[in-house]
Amino acid sequence: MSPKELNRAPEQSWLDAFDAAANDLPGEWLADTRRDAINVFREKGLPQRRLEDWKYTDLRRVLGSDLPLAVIAKGEGADPLAAIKGPRIHLTNGFFESADAMPKGVEVVSLSQALVGQVDWVRKALGSAPRPEGHPMLALNTALMRDGAAIRIVKGTALAEPIVIVHEGQAGRQLVRNLIVMEEGAEATIIEAHSGSTDAQQVQQTSEILVGDNAKLTHIRLQDAGASSVHLATDLVGIGRDALYDGFIVTTGGELARQESHIEFQGEGAEARISGTYLLSSKQHADVTTRINHAVPRCTSREVFKGVITDEARGVFQGKIVVAKDAQKTDGHQLNKTLLLSPKAEIDTKPELEIYADDVKCSHGATTGQINEDHLFYLRARGIDEATARGLLIHSFISEVMAEVKDDAIRAALEAHVTAWLASHAGIREVAA
Amino acid sequence: MAEQQAPEVERQLSDKYKYGFVTDIESEKAAKGLSEDTVRFISAKKSEPEWMLEWRLKAFRRWKEMEEPTWAKVHYPKIDFQNAYYYSEPKQKKKLDSLDDVDPDLLETYKKLGIPLQEQKLLANVAVDAVFDSVSVVTTFKAKLAESGVIFCPISEAVQNHPELVKKYLGSVVPITDNYYATLNSAVFSDGSFVFIPKGVRCPMELSTYFRINEAETGQFERTLIIAEEGSYVSYLEGCTAPMRSEHQLHAAVVELVTLDDAEIKYSTVQNWYPGDAEGRGGIYNFVTKRGACRGARSKISWTQVETGSAITWKYPSCVLMGDNSVGEFYSIAITNNYQQADTGTKMIHLGKGTTSRVIAKGISAGKSNSTYRGLVSMHPKADGARNYTQCDSLLIGGDCGAHTVPYIESRNPTATVEHEATTSKISEDQLFYARARGIGEEEAVALIVNGFVRDVMQQLPMEFAVEAQKLVSISLEGSVG
């Protein structure tokens, strides 16, 4: 059945929102782009299970509910990763609220201001990140994007401290577009922390991330959105010659969440790492979808995602590595492991390889199951009580992936978050390091 | 009568696809095209009872409302279902009583194919059912099998002689609404094999069906049904060939297997339908639905397939593991060369407690071909302690082919364990160099390495088949190096 034959009510609220807001959206020069984008969305409709990429995550139900567009609000000082030092950018309800003073070689502007004013580098970079074609949610974001943070790390700049973007969601539909431009040889760590109120909200964030030749970007995201949030974060990453993109994502928040990473190699000799963990409880639904596009030869990708799922929560992992016809000497590896802790927990995983070049080394692995009984027995035989033994094993399961975070201070802050989650949701007492 | 074969095509390929000949046998065909009349014609031809006709018509009406699936990673021009014959039967003077009455041309065909129909000359202890175009022409060793209570006959005969079994099991594993091609098959299936192994019987010999498409513009729609009662065992082999033609032909078969408590079915296939020529002209569209239901506790179904033929293969032999502690296995080799496309894999549906499954899939792509492994492992909430292990390895030969892996893993039981591994690589230069340095020619060296790569699966084949399959691997890859 084509989307046209479906009931169109869920889409209509978005089309109406666009019509109502069209004249107030920032950047007159973008009007045609926005109109084209809403037409793509009109044609495709909200993603539903009959589309292969959305087989396990249906947005029609959750995004159909009528919720007004978010309004500008004042933040209440959320900062879930306060332990990490570095200048802050505050986005509240999807609007750029404030930014600390930035070190030399860093430019930060609010996207809405940049769209209205003449910020050449923003105009040049916006819409230039590689992207999947005909993606309905991306189209919706382009049509309705209102604000966000645009960050530029000037050529050759190496930052000593990370930049932290603090996202605080309060209510309504928040359509955020971020832009991260790493110029040639620049080195930076950018951390995003999402949190918010328990009010109903729909966050749709798209980040365009351009990593220039020889540049290095470490990109960390903690997604701990409010319990009634729909949280969609889509990262579009282009990686230049000999450059590195090192992404890490911790997902604990939201009622329904989907993290999409589309990574494309644009120059030879580059490397991408994308890893993370999803910790889900109650009736949460979280989806991690990654696509790594080896479009050019001699690039390396490495991907490790591990999850712990309890109660009636459901996890989804869809990882795809595509190797283009001439992308010889590609090295691509992917691993997904999930622990199910309760009888009603569910994991759906789909690790995919699509390979058109012969001189490659590609692999993927996936496991699902419970704690290994042999390991448990080993610990119990040494006099460790069952709860502690389970705690140790789950901790060690997650520790393997946490080790992908290279910076000690950042890893410690993320581990504190993970440990707190395990204590309150999996009944696991804190384990001394 | 004989198909006008483009002579240059024939010359180019005759040495590679030795089964590409056409036998000039008079045949009787249904009118071209597909309508309720075609379905009625086939049913009448088989003198089927009313319930069978109704079943077919129900499927046909359903099929008309269905859309062709497009999710598989295969590309082909839209099939014109009206431009094909749905029934073709070799003309015979009278009803056959023994092999001596079989048309000598037909016997010659099977001789050329290397299939021993003549019982007296038979060394291998294999009973054969030979299906030629739409009709089963001969089934050997019937009497000997009957002694142990085994029924092995054309399904058209089973409809007449064992209606209670057919009614009970036909469509019980692959329902007529299952999918586009299975529904089409349900409407127009012409013949196929029926096997029934009664309680406690270990089938005294391997059973085998040889499928041959001879007639031009004819679709082949066979239907196989195997039932293994409590504690029984059968090993069943299936082979397929077709003449070389420059147009495509459709093969849409359905295979249903049922095992009751403690029963086991081992089902092996060597699929060598005509793959088309080096330019991608001609070849069989092989759109097949194969599924087994392990209904009984501790029962087992094992699929082994060597897929070297067909222009397009679309096939997912699956196991529905309902009985507690039942076992499903899938061992597969898929080789594609030139412009062949294969989208194949398995579904392991774990419903019962303690069910286990094992999937070993080896894909080899050469030339401009594409090979996809597509599989599902599903752990249902009641499948306590279930386990699956899956390994998919792909080998690429040359820079113009593709190898893809699309596994789906769905687990809704915390005590179930799923392990999946997949790798993709090319033939190791070191291994090739080692063989070449010892004076082994390049093509031979590749065949040697590939045979090593697929060894885990080859070992699962019955011996007679393994020898043939190894040769096939070498032949399929000819011209893929250098």
Write the pLDDT tens digit of every residue in B434-480: 999 999 988 888 888 988 899 888 888 877 677 778 877 877 777 66
Residue predicted with more confidence, B190 or B372: B372
Q: Does A341 touch chain B (CB under 8 A)?
A: yes
Which of B381, B399, B411 faces A358 most closely, judged by CB atoms? B399
Which residues, in sequence order, are bridge partners of residue A273?
Answer: A246, A302
The beta strand positions in B221-326, using DSSP E, are 223-228, 233-241, 248-251, 254-259, 264-271, 283-294, 300-307, 312-315, 318-321
Residues A309-334 pLDDT 10s: 999 999 999 999 999 999 999 999 99
- Report how far residue B14's alpha carbon sits from residue B158's, in angstroms, rounded to the nearest whole number: 38
Which of A340, A341, A353 faces B411 most closely, judged by CB atoms? A340
- Measure A262 CA to nearest chain B CA, in Å: 18
Question: Which strand (E) or helix (H) includes residue B363?
Answer: strand B356-366
Residues A157-180 pLDDT 10s: 999 999 999 999 999 999 999 999
pTM over 0.95: no
CB B219 within 8 A of CB B259: no
Round the CA-based radius of gyration of chain A to a whole number and report it: 21
Q: What is the DSSP string of B377-429?
A: EEE-TT-TT-EEEEEEEEEEESTT-EEEEEEEEEE--TT-EEEEEEEEEE--H
CB burial of residue B82 (10 Å; 0-12, 13-18, 19+): exposed
Contacts of A348 in chain B (CB under 8 A): 408-411
- Measure B319 CA to nearest chain A CA, in Å: 19
| Closest-CA residue of chain B to A310 | B414
Residues B238-265 pLDDT 10s: 877 666 767 788 889 999 999 999 999 9
Contacts of A357 in chain B (CB under 8 A): 396, 399
Which residues, in sequence order, are bridge partners of residue B70?
Answer: none
Instruction: Look at residues B211, B217, B185, B197 and name the one whose alpha carbon lies nearest to residue B287.
Output: B185
Check whether B137 has a pLDDT greater than 80.
no
Residues A57-111 pLDDT 10s: 999 888 887 789 999 999 998 999 999 999 999 999 999 999 999 999 999 999 9
Contacts of B415 in chain A (CB under 8 A): 369-370
Size (chain B), residues: 482
Best of B405, B428, B432 to substitute, by most chain A Cβ atoms within 10 angstroms, is B405
- Report how far residue A268's alpha carbon sits from residue A270's, in angstroms, rounded to the nearest whole number: 6
Tell me the average pLDDT across A28-56. Answer: 93
Going by their DSSP bridges, the two strands B327-336 and B356-366 should be labelled as parallel
- Measure A69 CA to nearest chain B CA, in Å: 36
Instruction: Look at residues A427, A424, A401 and name the one whose alpha carbon lies nearest to residue A414.
Output: A401
What are the CA-CA distances from residue A344 to residues A227, A309, A347 (Å)? 19, 9, 10
- Measure A276 CA to nearest chain B CA, in Å: 19
- Measure A370 CA to nearest chain B CA, in Å: 5
| Closest-CA residue of chain B to A316 | B410
Phi, psi of A210 (to 5 degrees): -115, 115
- Measure B435 CA to nearest chain A CA, in Å: 19
Which of B379, B404, B418 faces A353 most closely, judged by CB atoms? B404
Best of B359, B365, B372, B412 to substitute, by most chain A Cβ atoms within 10 angstroms, is B412
In 3-state terms, what secondary structure has residue B108?
A: helix
CB burial of residue A426 (10 Å; 0-12, 13-18, 19+): buried
The domain segmentation of chain A, as residue ranges, is 3-267, 373-433
In 3-state terms, what secondary structure has residue A112?
A: helix
Q: What is the DSSP string of A187-238?
A: EEEEEEEEEE-SS-EEEEEEEEEEE-TT-EEEEEEEEE--TTEEEEEEEEEE
For residue B120, the 8-state DSSP code is G
Check whether A428 has a pLDDT greater than 90.
no
Contacts of B176 (CB under 8 A, 6+ apart): B55, B58, B59, B62, B182, B183, B186
Q: Does B425 touch chain A (CB under 8 A)?
A: yes
- Report how far residue B103's alpha carbon sits from residue B97's, in angstroms, rounded to the nearest whole number: 12
Best of A355, A363, A373 to substitute, by most chain B Cβ atoms within 10 angstroms, is A355
Q: Are A340 and B420 within 8 A, CB to CB?
A: no
Tell me the average pLDDT across B384-397. Answer: 94
Check whether B208 has a pLDDT greater than 60.
yes
Check whether B66 has a pLDDT greater than 60.
yes
CB A395 within 8 A of CB A384: no
Return the minimum-mean-pLDDT range out of B54-63, B210-219, B315-324, B439-448. B210-219
Contacts of B407 in chain A (CB under 8 A): 350-352, 366
The beta strand positions in A46-112, using DSSP E, are 88-92, 95-99, 106-110
Check whether B336 has a pLDDT greater than 80.
yes
Which of A347, A352, A356 faces B405 most closely, judged by CB atoms? A352
> B267: how many CB neighbours lie within 10 A of its CB?
23
Check whether A430 has a pLDDT greater than 80.
no
- Report how far residue B411's alpha carbon sits from residue A338's, in angstroms, rounded to the nearest whole number: 10
CB burial of residue B452 (10 Å; 0-12, 13-18, 19+): exposed
> Which amino acid, one-letter code, is at A303?
E
Residues A23-37 pLDDT 10s: 899 999 999 999 999
- Measure B279 CA to nearest chain A CA, in Å: 19
> A20: how many CB neighbours lie within 10 A of its CB?
11
Q: Does B361 touch chain A (CB under 8 A)?
A: no
Instruction: Look at residues B112, B90, B104, B106 and name the one whose alpha carbon lies nearest to residue B14.
Output: B112
Which of B404, B411, B417 faces A355 most closely, judged by CB atoms? B404
| Closest-CA residue of chain A to B398 | A358
Best of A358, A361, A364, A397 to substitute, by most chain B Cβ atoms within 10 angstroms, is A358
Instruction: Look at residues B468, B475, B413 and name the one whose alpha carbon lies nearest to residue B450.
Output: B475
Q: Report ipTM for this prediction.
A: 0.88
Q: Are A368 and B411 within 8 A, CB to CB?
A: yes
Q: Does B411 touch chain A (CB under 8 A)?
A: yes
Q: Are B408 and A350 within 8 A, CB to CB?
A: yes
> Which amino acid, one-letter code, is at B389?
Y
Q: Does B404 touch chain A (CB under 8 A)?
A: yes
> Which amino acid, one-letter code, is at B275?
P
- CB proximity under 8 Å: B 138-157 to A: none
Q: Does B293 touch chain A (CB under 8 A)?
A: no
Q: Does A318 touch chain B (CB under 8 A)?
A: no
Contacts of B412 in chain A (CB under 8 A): 344-346
Output the pLDDT for position B217. Answer: 67
Return the minimum-mean-pLDDT range out of A100-104, B272-276, B416-420. B272-276
> Which amino acid, one-letter code, is at A273?
R
Which of B71, B407, B413 faces A350 most closely, judged by CB atoms? B407
Q: Does A357 touch chain B (CB under 8 A)?
A: yes
- Report how far residue A186's alpha carbon sits from residue A200's, in angstroms, rounded to the nearest whole number: 39
Q: Does A360 touch chain B (CB under 8 A)?
A: yes
Question: Which strand (E) or helix (H) includes residue B459?
Answer: none
Q: Are A345 and B414 within 8 A, CB to CB?
A: yes
Number of helices and strands (H, E) in chain B? 12, 24
Contacts of B413 in chain A (CB under 8 A): 340, 343
Q: How far apart are the two ends of chain B, measured CA to CA in Å?
A: 40
Q: Does A53 touch chain B (CB under 8 A)?
A: no
> Given pLDDT bands bounded at 50, 70 and 90, which one contains residue B90?
low
Which of B71, B396, B417 faces A355 most closely, judged by CB atoms? B396
Helix axis angle, B429-437 relative to B442-453, nearest 10°? 130
- The token duo for A322 is 């595509």
CB A358 within 8 A of CB B396: yes
Helices within A278-385 (DSSP H only): 373-381
Q: Does A376 touch chain B (CB under 8 A)?
A: no
Q: Does A370 touch chain B (CB under 8 A)?
A: yes
**CB-facing half-sphere around the CA of B463: CA atoms within 13 A:** 3
Q: Across all residues in chain B, what is the average pLDDT?
A: 84
- Report how far residue A10's alpha carbon sits from residue A67's, in angstroms, rounded to the nearest whole number: 11
Contacts of A39 (CB under 8 A, 6+ apart): none
Which residues, in sequence order, are bridge partners of residue B357?
Answer: B328, B388
Size of interface A-B (CB pairs under 8 A): 114
Contacts of A355 in chain B (CB under 8 A): 394, 396, 402-404, 424
Instruction: Look at residues A212, A213, A189 and name the one whose alpha carbon lies nearest to residue A121.
Output: A212
Contacts of B419 in chain A (CB under 8 A): 365-367
Output the pLDDT for position B444. Answer: 86
Q: Are B381 and A344 within 8 A, CB to CB?
A: yes
Centroid of chain to Cα B364? 18
CB burial of residue B437 (10 Å; 0-12, 13-18, 19+): exposed
Output the pLDDT for position B95. Answer: 45
CB B255 within 8 A of CB B243: no
Q: Does B77 touch chain A (CB under 8 A)?
A: no
- The token duo for B186 is 């349900």
Instruction: Look at residues A186, A178, A191 and name the one whose alpha carbon lies nearest to residue A88.
Output: A191
Instruction: Look at residues B293, B355, B300 and name the one whose alpha carbon lies nearest to residue B325.
Output: B355
- Measure B392 CA to nearest chain A CA, in Å: 10
Size (chain A), residues: 433
Which of B397, B408, B419 faces A367 most closely, judged by CB atoms? B419
**CB-facing half-sphere around the CA of B157: CA atoms within 13 A:** 17
Q: Does A364 touch chain B (CB under 8 A)?
A: yes
Residues B41-57 pLDDT 10s: 989 988 999 999 999 99
Which of B407, B410, B417 faces A369 most closely, judged by CB atoms? B417
> Which amino acid, one-letter code, is at B174?
V
